[in-house]
Amino acid sequence: MNDQPLLQTRNLSMHFGGVRALDQVDFSLSRGELRCLIGSNGAGKSTFFKCLTGQLTPTHGEVLLNGAEVGGLSSAAIASRGVGIKTQVPNLFDGLTVFENLWVSVRSVQDNKSRDQIVEETMERIGITHLSKLVAGEIEHGQRQFVELAMVVAESPELILFDEPAAGLSAEETRRLADIIHELNREHALIVVEHDMQFIRMIGKQVTVFHQGQILAEDETDAILNNQQVRNVYLGKSAV
């Protein structure tokens, strides 16, 4: 057994001038774990992801992936070590078909599979095979979210980061997304940032609450929903 966390941050801080977007964050994720991150607008969630993926170089502190320091490495170097991200910002080539979008997102080909095979298996897994020949710029928002998700999964990263994947999805699409996340979690560790508490309930695992760049609480979903401090700063009285 390997008890070393898959991901660990120590004293991780990211300052933008006087803004402490992240302030001494100690975070740990086990191999194969599924974790939700919640917190108000500006709490530091996306900044946290950007420090994990190399989009930002932390001001202080460490990011350890399988025990090795990766803080400050390039995005490409961190991606090649098995971290994939679906960002909050759209990331599709609108002029390419769905198939082509996935094809270009597969950087490395393993297990003697062809690139086409990997793309087809991934579309099957995410349930978007029927969109394969459509031009990305012409498909609707919800479907785009699933295509973007597939682009991350096609690389088969050990750790997948999703930044607000349910944003703008219908209730039915949100349920489908929760099922896909559970299915993905059989093979991948995931961290999911979300505002939608219904969706967090559907995922139903450990939740970390960010507040003003720090971790305010960390617990099972039900305990978080009943945590008075969390309710005061984030959920409000109507959320549960």
> Which stretches of the chain bind Mg ion, using CB under 5 A?
45-46
Which is closer to ligand ATP, CB of 98 or CB of 161?
161
> Which of ligand ATP, Mg ion, none has residue 39 at its interface (CB below 5 to 8 Å by kind)?
ligand ATP
Give the span between the Cα atoms of 216 and 201, in whole angstroms. Answer: 19
Residue nearest to Mg ion according to CB distances in the complex? 46
The window from 44-52, 99-107, 165-173, 222-230 that contacts ligand ATP (CB under 6 A) reads: 44-52
Query: Which residues fall within 8 angstroms of residue 116, CB to CB, at 6 or more apart?
Result: 103
Minimum CB distance to Mg ion, residue 34 (Å) = 19
Q: How far is the CB of 100 from Mg ion (least distance, A)?
A: 28
* Adjacent-strand bridge partners of 208: 37, 218
* Binding residue (CB under 6 A) for ligand ATP from 9, 13, 46, 143: 46
CB 169, min distance to Mg ion, A: 17
Considering beta carbons, is residue 47 or 227 the nearer one to ligand ATP? 47
Number of residues that bind ligand ATP (CB under 6 A): 12
CA 15 to chain CA mean position, Å: 22
Q: What is the dihedral of CA 193, 197, 200, 204, to 10 degrees?
A: 150
What tokens appear for 197 in the block? 């508490």
Phi, psi of 122 (to 5 degrees): -70, -40
Site string for ligand ATP, 199-218 (x = CB under 6 A): --------------------
Whichever of 46 and 122 has its CB closer to ligand ATP, that residue is 46
> CA nearest 158: which of 230, 101, 108, 115?
108
Distance CA 25, CA 171 (A): 33
Q: Interface residues for ligand ATP in 86-105 (CB under 6 A)?
A: 88
Contact (Cβ atoms closer than 8 angstroms) between residue 43 and residue 212? yes
Chosen residue from 43, 119, 139, 189 binding ligand ATP by CB under 6 A? 43
19 binds, among ligand ATP, Mg ion, none (CB under 5 to 8 A by kind): ligand ATP
Positive or negative, the CA dihedral 48, 52, 53, 56 is positive
Cβ nearer to ligand ATP, comparing 20 with 125:
20
Sequential DSSP letters for 177-233: HHHHHHHHTTTSEEEEE-S-HHHHHHH-SEEEEEETTEEEEEEEHHHHHT-HHHIII
User: Does 47 help bind ligand ATP (rule: CB under 6 A)?
Assistant: yes
- Shortest distance in whole angstroms from residue 20 CB to Mg ion: 16
Contacts of 27 (CB under 8 A, 6+ apart): 7, 8, 9, 12, 48, 208, 215
For position 44 contacting ligand ATP by CB under 6 A, the verdict is yes
Name the site residues for ligand ATP (rule: CB under 6 A): 16, 19, 21, 39, 41-47, 88
